[in-house]
Amino acid sequence: MPEVSCTLAVDAPAAVVYEAAKDVEGLAVFIEAIESITVDQREVVDGGLQTVTSWVGLLPEFRRTIKWTERDIWRDADLRCDFTLVKGDLDAYEGEWTFAPDGQSGSTTSLVVRYEYDVPLVGALIRGLVLKKMQQSVDAIQAGLKRRAEGG
């Protein structure tokens, strides 16, 4: 399964960055590659928050959107979110989002996504473009979170 990731330094405490990420609906306006994020379900499970969120991503090169619904397990004590695909255009989608103090006043956030997106009758060129778009999406999510957490 292909994997993309982005690790970014943020000039805000890890707990602040984590809370900014946890409010995914509010985060959506900071991410250029995302049309919308909607929380469909929210419940407290095992001391953390579990959400089911519906995402609509933009793929202007393909003149379409990509839609998926994911289950997010927010682990407050660990400043971590694990997510998995519930349904959508992707064949598989999972990963983790972590938040850690950097030893000073800032923090580091890391987003790792593993996915499968099989488009019938396409070759390596299209798979390479999908990989590039997934990397751009992860980078855009992280950049949007950084802007939001730093007050931008």
Q: Which residues contact 72 (CB under 8 A, 6 or more apart)?
A: 24, 49, 50, 51, 52, 53, 81, 82, 83
User: What are the two backbone dihedrals, phi and then psi, of residue 52, each rounded to the nearest 5 degrees?
Assistant: -115, 120
The CATH number assigned to the domain holding 125 equals 3.30.530.20
- Count: domains in the chain: 1
Closest CA to 80 of 109, 119, 120, 115: 109
DSSP-derived 3-state class of residue 128 = helix
pLDDT of residue 127: 75
Domain that holds residue 85: 3-149
- Whole-model pTM? 0.89
Q: How many residues does the chain have?
A: 152
Scanning the structure block, which residue is given the tokens 């707990």?
A: 15
Question: Chunked in runs of 10, what are the mean pLDDT values of the chain (152 residues)?
Answer: 95 96 90 90 88 90 86 95 95 96 91 86 69 89 94 76
